[in-house]
Structure 1
Amino acid sequence: MLKSMTGFGRGEYEDQDFSITVEMKTVNHRYNEVAIRLPRFLNPVEDRIRKTILKTVNRGRIDVFINADYTVSGNCTLKVDKNLAAAYHKALLEIGEAIGAKDAGINPAAEIMNIARCQDVINVKEGFFDVESVWPKVEIALQQALKNLVAMRETEGGNIYGDFIYRADLIAEKLALIEERSPQVVAEYQAKLSERLTNLLADHNITVEPERLLQEVAIFADRTSITEEIVRLKSHIKQFKTIIASDQPVGRKLDFLIQEFNREANTIASKANDYTLAQIVVEIKAEIEKIREQIQNIE
């Protein structure tokens, strides 16, 4: 089944000591790129998170947002930097002296509260973080988010698959018109060439030699023959349908194949030497371009 590179997934886990929410969104990208934003205490499992995602998502830019909280009873301590607190107190006295308020009374309780709020005066020392016990909980939320993400990408991929089939069939129909019209182009050229030569040579009582006329027509037919291009483009269409029915990531294969579509269409246009065929080729190229745009969103 085709998968789009665009999607969103969310997963959650919660118990009495740990809670986590994982959100991930994916967008088009030529390669596979993962950007993870997570709380600092989950840094030890970041590599596991990345590897888990890459096992499921093969192509696209993946932005992962993780919010988590955990409680480690009895293992958290507060550390007061007494020297820093004293320095803040001294600085307050110096400020009072500088503004002429040296003898102004300072409320001890208010000063304690103010200094306690100053940066790095009170530091939290976290307890031991057990990676092995927390990782299974992280993985539950992560797998849930991935499942929802993949479901959304598959839904969008299914819509694109339907559009691909429609446009491939449309190209095949137009190619059939070209195949039907091609022999008529040679016949019309023979008739026009015969008429022109007859008119030009009539005044001199010279007749057109059938062998010479047929030779010129044969040269024209060989120069404008698009049989090989038609056969190859038919083969490309068949291959295209086979590839999009695959369960594997096919974006890069399709990207290459659609270039071959375009190559054959351009060759037909340059060799056709017929206005009607040229118009049909323009319509085919328009459908090829629509397919090419959609392929940019396929995993």
Structure 2
Amino acid sequence: MAIESMTGFARAAGTAGIHGWAWEIRSVNGRGLDLRVRVPPGLELLAEAARKRLSGAFSRGTLHVNLAVTSDAGPPRPRINEAVLVALLEAVRKLPGAAGIAPPTYDGLLGIRGVVDYAEEAQDALAALEKPALAGLEAAADALKDARAGEGRALETIIRGHLATIARLTGEAEAHPARSNDAIRARIAAQVEALLGASGGLDPQRLHQEAALIAVRADIREEIDRLHAHVTALRELLDTGGPIGRKLDFLSQEFGREASTLCAKANDPGLSRIGLELRTVVDQMREQVQNVE
């Protein structure tokens, strides 16, 4: 299964009788799945259908979903339900004055569901729109899936390229001459000799013990082993595919920690350069990983 990006755009449009309709879906990065659906009044069922369809197709991303409807017959004729409006006014009038509620205004009352509806013929035309608009929703969802999959393929190529660079740099750090026993021994001996020359009161045996401890703490064997393990784990995740963005992000953080520790432990300019390159590539990879579903 391939990976998918969280970004994409899709549009589907059509007509039904006197009405034209158009779905537009814009998808951007998100920590989870956030569906923001807008439909015209009277088509709330389509909003619920959109939420159900898209929540079944996607697991992450912020999706802005909009249904636009046009009509050759002009705007629908509103009708005020006077009985409901009078009942609301009477209910507000009976409230005690201590309630602290401002007097009702018509613009506020007209915004309450049920106070304003539309002419029956307009409602019938909207009802006839539901079936073709639902089909359009399916087409838009499929198109968005394809768009996110296409960008996912491009992301996978970039991430695998960064991963190959990380593997190469890890191998260079592992094989660096500064990690050889002779190099470490010579470096420690030079440091001990310099300290002894600076002060004749230092205990040579104690100095050698401290130098050995420093050498152990400065060894980057564990960091190299973990970097190799993370490279293998991330490649396996990419091979598995699916909604793996959170796991990829976690592994990217682990890469960053190991690269930072390698830099801190590096006791040679060459190793420091490799560590800095590792950190740069890891940061670049994580930027791409955060786009993955």
Normalization by structure 1: what TM-score? 0.72
* Matched residue type, 2:35: V
- Structure 2 residue aligned with 1:2: 3
- Residue 146 (structure 2) pairs with residue 145 (structure 1): no
- Structure 1 residue aligned with 2:222: 228
Q: Distance in 1 between matches of 2:211 and 2:22?
A: 74
Q: 1:1-299 alignment to 2 at 5 Å?
A: 1-16=2-17, 19-68=20-69, 124-127=118-121, 129=124, 135-181=130-176, 184=179, 186-195=181-190, 218-299=212-293
Contact 2:35–2:65 (CA under 8 A) maintained in structure 1: yes
Compute the displacement of 1:274 (Å): 2.1
* Matched residue type, 1:176: G
Evaluate the alpha carbon distance shift between residue 182 and residue 246 of structure 1 in structure 2; reply closer, same or farther with a 3 A threshold: same
Compute the displacement of 1:28 (Å): 1.5
Q: Distance in 1 between matches of 2:160 and 2:177?
A: 26
Q: Distance in 2 between matches of 1:78 and 1:256?
A: 54
Q: Please identify the structure whose Cα radius of gyration is greater.
A: 1
Contact 1:77–1:126 (CA under 8 A) maintained in structure 2: no
| Structure 1: segments with no counterpart, 5+ residues | 82-122, 203-207
Evaluate the alpha carbon distance shift between residue 60 and residue 222 of structure 1 in structure 2; reply closer, same or farther with a 3 A threshold: same
* Matched residue type, 2:147: M
Q: Secondary structure at the match of 2:240?
A: coil
Aligned sequence identity (%):
29
Q: Distance in 2 between matches of 1:141 and 1:229?
A: 53
Q: Distance in 2 between matches of 1:169 and 1:177?
A: 12
Q: CA RMSD in A?
A: 3.6
Q: Distance in 1 between matches of 2:80 and 2:262?
A: 81
Q: Secondary structure at the match of 2:68?
A: strand
Q: Secondary structure at the match of 2:62?
A: strand
* Matched residue type, 2:150: T
Compute the displacement of 1:139 (Å): 2.1
Q: Distance in 1 between matches of 2:289 and 2:145?
A: 18
Normalization by structure 2: what TM-score? 0.73
Contact 1:186–1:220 (CA under 8 A) maintained in structure 2: no
Evaluate the alpha carbon distance shift between residue 43 and residue 183 of structure 1 in structure 2; reply closer, same or farther with a 3 A threshold: same
Compute the displacement of 1:265 (Å): 1.2
| Structure 2: segments with no counterpart, 5+ residues | 82-116, 198-202
Q: Distance in 1 between matches of 2:247 and 2:168?
A: 24
